[in-house]
Structure 1
Amino acid sequence: MQEPIFKKYNVDENTFWDEVNSLEDQYKRQGIRVNRDTIYLNHFITCVRQGIFKGLNNAMLREFGKELTFYPGIPEIFEELCNIVTKNEKYSPFNISVEHYVVSTGLSEIIKGSIVNNYVKGIWACEFIERPIMSSLGTGESESGLEFSGNEISQIAYAIDNTSKTRALFEINKGSNLFEEIDVNSKIAPENRRVPFENMIYIADGPSDVPAFSVIKSNGGRTFAVYPKGNNKAFKQVNQLIRDGRIDMFGEADYSKDTTTYLWLRNQVLDIADRIYDKKREQISKSASKAPTHI
Structure 2
Amino acid sequence: MTDRDMATFQVGEQCPACLQMMRPGLQPWHRVCSRCTYEGSTLLVDIDVAGTADVVDEAMREEGLNQLRQSNFEALEADIARRVTAAGGERPRLLDVGCAHGWFLEAGRPDFEVLGIEPDAKVADAAVARGLPVRRGFFPDVLDASEQFDVIVFNDVLEHIPDIGAALRACMRHLQPGGWVIVNAPARTGVLYRFSVLMARLGLPASFERLWQKGLPSPHVHYLDDDSMQAIAGHAAMQVAAVRTLPSLTARGLYARIRADRSVPAAKAMLVASVLSVASPALRILPADIKVWMLQAKG
TM-score (norm 1): 0.33
**Looking at CA atoms only, which structure, 1 or 2, has the larger radius of gyration?**
1
Larger % of strand: which?
2
Larger % of helix: which?
1
TM-score (norm 2): 0.32
